[in-house]
Amino acid sequence: MFELKKLNVHRIVGSKEEADKLKAQGFEELSADVQPDFTVMKVDELKAYAEGKGIDLGEATKKDDIITKLKAGK
């Protein structure tokens, strides 16, 4: 994940290609390998994030349990 900023607009993107597109639009890269704020994500978003990162959630279905698995799998 990449965090970029342009004026007061922050973007977090998942690929180098997306980051490069934003840089071409004038965004500045603040940091790479940024972990999103899991606490503001919905359960379906957390599950999609885990799937995209290849993290096995096992039997975790509650938000707190999923977040624990994500942090351990990262």
Q: Is the pLDDT of residue 73 over 60?
A: yes
pLDDT tens-digit map of 2-59:
888 999 898 888 778 998 999 999 999 987 766 778 888 899 988 988 887 888 999 9
Per the rule left: phi > 0, alpha: psi between -120 and 50, beta: everything else, 37 is: beta
Strand ordering across the sheet containing 9-13: 9-13, 2-6, 28-32
Residues 48, 46: Cα–Cα separation, whole Å: 5
Decide: pTM greater than 0.95.
Answer: no
